[in-house]
Amino acid sequence: SQQGEEDPQALSIQEGENATMNCSYKTSINNLQWYRQNSGRGLVHLILIRSNEREKHSGRLRVTLDTSKKSSSLLITASRAADTASYFCATDGQGGGSNYKLTFGKGTLLTVNP
Amino acid sequence: EAGVTQSPTHLIKTRGQQATLRCSPISGHTSVYWYQQALGLGLQFLLWYDEGEERNRGNFPPRFSGRQFPNYSSELNVNALELEDSALYLCASSQWTGTRSKETQYFGPGTRLLVL
């Protein structure tokens, strides 16, 4: 079963607007990561937030993590047409050792209109 | 620094055949992960190799197998192909940092497998 679930499934905005995507997960985690995928190609790593962190910034990206609610959000500010892509959250679970793996949500398809 | 590479980019097979997909990790990375991204099913974890050993596998039948070579590159083999095996297969690599809490997986461009 999917650990992470992104919300919304699809989001369409105008260039310059902010885009917010949410992710919920079910079990305890070591970290949560956000990835971007353009048109069925490989995933690009955006940002990793550890379970003891609440907020992290990287350029126009801001990620928050609320472990009590088992949720995370990704904010892209001042969006550009080039930000059009699918965005996935991934969690590692706290099963370290041989149980380690990333579990991905089904993603949010972001469309930024010029 | 070269990223994760995968070959071939596209592969067309017929039902019952075998497919072999290849992955070269980022230099210095010892772990390789395989994922399947089928339409409508999202990214599903397939296999994890580290230091030449299979460490974990997802909920896939035994006809999905692979190996990791001494140079840390990896091969994914899919036997007795079925139509539903059509998907994008993604490989990722990572470097052990001493703690899982900081481990990032870096992905290759994928191999698109089509089973006819």
In single-letter form, the type of residue at position A16 comes to: G
Beta bridge partners of B36: B44, B89
If 0-12 CB within 10 Å is exposed, 13-18 middle and 19+ buried, where does residue A59 land? Answer: exposed
What would the pLDDT profile of A27-85 be if each residue is shown by its tens digit? Answer: 888 889 999 999 878 899 999 999 999 999 999 999 999 999 999 999 999 999 999 99
pLDDT recorded at residue B40: 76
For residue B58, the chain A residue with the least C-alpha distance is A101
For chain A, give the number of residues. Answer: 114
Residues of B in contact with A106 (CB under 8 A): 42
pLDDT recorded at residue B97: 67
Whether the Cβ atoms of residue A31 and residue A48 lie closer than 8 Å to each other = yes
pLDDT recorded at residue A2: 41
What would the pLDDT profile of B38-97 be if each residue is shown by its tens digit? Answer: 987 788 999 999 889 998 899 999 999 999 999 999 999 999 999 999 999 999 999 876
What would the pLDDT profile of B38-48 be if each residue is shown by its tens digit? Answer: 987 788 999 99
Query: Cβ A101–B104 below 8 Å, yes or no?
Result: no
Q: Is the peptide bond before B109 cis (omega within 30 degrees of 0)?
A: no
Residues of B in contact with A101 (CB under 8 A): 33, 45, 48, 56, 58
Q: How many CA atoms lie within 13 A of A14 on its CB side?
A: 0
Query: Residues A31-49, buried b or exposed e (16+ Cβ, 10 A)?
Result: bbbbbbbeeebbbeebbbb
Query: Cβ B43–A41 below 8 Å, yes or no?
Result: no
Dist CA A58 CA A91 (whole Å): 19
**Nearest residue, CB atoms, B101 vs list A2, A30, A43:** A30
pLDDT recorded at residue B98: 64
pLDDT recorded at residue B106: 92
Highest mean pLDDT among A2-11, B17-26, B29-38: B17-26
**Tokens matching residue B36:** 């399947």
Contacts by residues B52-57 (CB-CB < 8 Å, ≥ 24 positions apart):
B55/A98, B55/A100, B55/B31, B56/A98, B56/A99, B56/A100, B56/A101
Residues of B in contact with A23 (CB under 8 A): none
For residue A101, the chain B residue with the least C-alpha distance is B45
Q: Strand runs (DSSP E) across B25-82, as ranges?
A: 31-38, 42-50, 53-57, 64-68, 74-78
Whether the Cβ atoms of residue A44 and residue A102 lie closer than 8 Å to each other = no
Three-state DSSP class for A6?
strand
**Nearest residue, CB atoms, A96 vs list B100, B104, B108:** B100
